[in-house]
A and B are shown apart, each in its own frame.
Chain A
Amino acid sequence: MMSLFTASLIIFALTLGAVFAYFAIKSRDLVKAAVFSAGQSAAFALAFFMLMAPDIVLAYVAVAIGIYTVVLLYVINKTERFEEAEE
């Protein structure tokens, strides 16, 4: 069984990721949703690090937080920023 510290950090990271994912889905402002998605990626990067995969972390941080978010922002820039309200 892993140490309580490792376990609690992994659990913290996964919970944070789930909360960010929820807000990313619920948000009507797509720019905010992209930022929440980046936050979820940051939480997952912490989880990967605790699961002893530093090679993955290096690629994941650069791609999922940096490149992916900015590409999403480009795409949002080409369309509308706000989703229409639910009926």
Chain B
Amino acid sequence: MRIKEVVTGIMAAAFLFVIIVTIIFGSTGWTPSTEIRPLAKFYLENCFNVFNRTWWTASPEAVTSMLWDYRGIDTYYETSVFFLAVISGVALFRIAEIKLGTKKKELGLSIIVKTVTRLIFPLIIIVSISVAFHGNLTPGGGFQAGAIFAVAPLLLIAAFSRHYLEENIKLTKDKCLTLRTIGLTAITLIIALPVLAGALTLMQNQAKPWSPFFSFPEVVGPVWTSGTLFFLNVAEFLAVGAGFTLLFLLLSIPEEEFKRVFGL
């Protein structure tokens, strides 16, 4: 047993050493790369090219430009996959009403955990909102912001209980479904809008050579919205954040409740 562990340790150390040597001497292809490949060069040069707007997306964030403009349909399908996952979750957990099994005050963890959670909860929400609203200017975007947002109700469920989330924060299953539907409807509308306005492709943000007719305004009032990117990020934030919260609300239904409802 001891010899086995020693051998495992030596093997792991040798493996790490090999990886370290390969990374330092660039055998994995210079990470981070010192040269830019032609495809990356195209995106970096064109996504915020103010002087030549033929291919631009009005966003300095190349990743967001790709996600919602150049390869927008991909992201749309990802969103629909997530939509289907959440809908099947809701269909599986069809329980009308959850009754409190134990007394409310006994639920949750110690007072230290509860206090820290109370302090952290608004901070997480503010970070997620800022990631969503700056998604077209800085790293981040709708999915990231939604995933960060979902951590906040998850913490509350773990530290307090799901009843605290439903009764004190008023974030119930039905409200999450409504928020999600609002987000998805907004995405669908934004996708369909350019076609109604005369563009040739769905999900057109800025006019491209193959469809030169319709561009969204890149600035609305004092806000640089990068055409549709800002609104798509916010809508995706709503859809993903509420979707994850909905899943956690369903997951945290006590097992006794299932047994009671289905008579097991």
Residues on A close to B: CB < 8 A?
Answer: 1-2, 6-7, 10-11, 14-15, 18, 22, 50-52, 54-55, 57-59, 61-63, 66-67, 70-71, 73-74, 78
Known: A7-B23, A18-B16, A54-B139. A71 touches B251 (CB 8 A): yes
Q: Which residues of A contact B19 (CB under 8 A)?
A: 14
Contact of A70 among B12, B24, B141, B154 (CB under 8 A): B154
**B interface, by DSSP: helix, strand, loop or mixed?**
helix
For A6, give the chain B residue with the smallest CB separation: B32
| Nearest CB of chain A from residue B233's CB, rounded to whole Å | 12
Which residue on chain B has the smallest CB distance to residue A78? Answer: B255
Contact check, A1 vs B12: say whether CB atoms are below 8 A apart: no
Are A67 and B143 closer than 8 Å at their CB atoms? no
Residues of B within 8 A of A (CB): 12, 15-16, 19-20, 23-26, 30-32, 34, 63, 131, 139-141, 143-144, 147-148, 150-151, 154, 158, 244, 248, 251-252, 255
In the complex, how many residue pairs between chain A and chain B have their CB atoms under 8 Å apart?
A: 73
- Complex CA gap A41/B144 in Å reads 16
**Contact (Cβ within 8 A) B24 A74:** no
| Contact A2–B16 (Cβ < 8 Å) | no
A22 to B12, Cβ gap below 8 A? Answer: yes
A2 and B244 within 8 A (CB):
no
Q: B15: shortest Cβ distance to chain A, in Å?
A: 8
Q: A1-B26, A51-B32, A52-B32 are in contact. Are A59 and B143 (CB under 8 A)?
A: yes
**Given known contacts A66-B151, A74-B252, A58 and B32 CB-to-CB distance under 8 angstroms:** no
Contact A2 B63, beta carbon cutoff 8 Å: no
Contact A62 B150 (CB under 8 A): yes
21 cross-chain CB contacts under 8 A:
A1-B26, A1-B30, A11-B24, A14-B16, A15-B16, A50-B32, A51-B31, A51-B32, A52-B32, A54-B139, A54-B140, A55-B141, A57-B139, A58-B144, A61-B148, A63-B147, A67-B151, A67-B154, A67-B244, A71-B251, A78-B255
Q: In the complex the two chains form, what is the Cα distance from A29 to B148 in whole Å?
A: 28
Q: Which residues of A contact B251 (CB under 8 A)?
A: 71, 74
Task: Give the CA-CA distance A62 to B15 in the complex, in Å.
Answer: 29
Query: Considering the chains assembled together, what is the distance between the CA atoms of A67 and B244 in angstroms?
Result: 9
